[in-house]
Amino acid sequence: TLTQLNSERRGLLQIQVFVADLHDVAELNRQWDAWVVPGHAPVRACVQTGLGAGCRVEMVIEAVAGLS
């Protein structure tokens, strides 16, 4: 987690988002906009792909450690 790395949301550098169904992207964007720190949004790429059974979203996150 970010806490374990002494980091926080403003330390996010990039996020790769994998979704099983592109119909989920609108809700994902709403949740994202409410969660991300204004002025500190990381680079983000979102693609549709096959995911494990029952999994709708997977994210690969890169962040700066040691911020907090």
Q: Is residue 1 over pLDDT 90? A: no
The rounded distance, in Å, linking the Cα atoms of 22 and 46 is 9
pLDDT of residue 67: 81
Q: Residue 2 — very low, low, confident or very high, per pLDDT cuts 50/70/90?
A: confident
Structural domains in the chain, sorted by start: 3-63 (3.30.1330.40)
pLDDT tens, 3-60? 888 998 999 999 999 999 999 999 999 999 999 999 999 999 999 999 999 999 999 9
pTM of the predicted protein model: 0.84
With helix as H, strand as E and coil as C, how does the chain read?
Answer: CCHHHCCCHHHEEEEEEEECCHHHHHHHHHHHHHHCCCCCCCEEEEEECCCCCCCCEEEEEEECCCCC
